[in-house]
Amino acid sequence: PLFVTWKIGRDRRLRGCIGTFNAMNLHLGLREYAMTSAFKDSRFSPITREELSKLHVSVSILRHFEDGLNYSDWEIGIHGIRIEFVTEKGSKRTATYLPEVAPEQGWDRIQTIDSLLRKGGYKGMITNDVRLSIRLTRYQSEKMTVSYQEYRDHFCTKRC
């Protein structure tokens, strides 16, 4: 399981992030999700050539999956969380945040869960009963980030 995240600019605004919870060959997974997150994240237009020099890419390898006892059974900054829930219209949905999202946003557990519900398409009023109905899986990740310039420097060292 892995996620590829693109961020842009000095303030490192999110530019794309897509991954998978399915185990797969690392080389093939990196290739597929680097492209998918760069060009097919529906929240953003595809990354352009003009943006390359301003990009940072991160790869998060997910590990240590555990079922949470409830929606609050995880640690901010330590665990990523994946939730499964049923929308107000009866559809089953999932949503996830990597471990760094809650601390980057300054969210507590409830704010994070509520944001994840919205991300996953829950449109109704969020009550404690809704939160208690969530099935939560927590996980950890190992993350590596590289800037475009670092990539170019490394590439040039190998090829020049």
pLDDT reading at 16 higher than 80: yes
> Coil, strand or helix: which one is 113?
helix
Interval 103-138: pLDDT, tens: 999 999 999 999 999 999 999 999 999 999 999 999
Query: Which domains can be identified in the chain, with CATH numbers?
Result: 2-62+141-158 (3.30.700.20), 64-140 (3.30.1490.150)
Dist CA 112 CA 31 (whole Å): 30
pLDDT reading at 152 higher than 90: no
Q: Is-above-0.85 flag for pTM?
A: yes
Dist CA 11 CA 131 (whole Å): 32
Centre a 10 Å sphere on the Cβ of residue 78 and count the other Cβ atoms it contains: 12
Angle at 77 between CA 76 and CA 81, to 5 degrees: 65
pLDDT reading at 159 higher than 70: no
Task: Kindly provide the residue ranges of all beta strands, DSSP E only, lying in 68-123, ordered along the sequence.
Answer: 80-86, 92-97
Q: Would you give the end-to-end CA distance of the chain in angstroms?
A: 34
Closest C-alpha to 67, from 130, 119, 120, 139: 139
Question: Tokens at residue 143, please?
Answer: 């993350």
Q: Which residues contact 21 (CB under 8 A, 6 or more apart)?
A: 1, 62, 82, 96
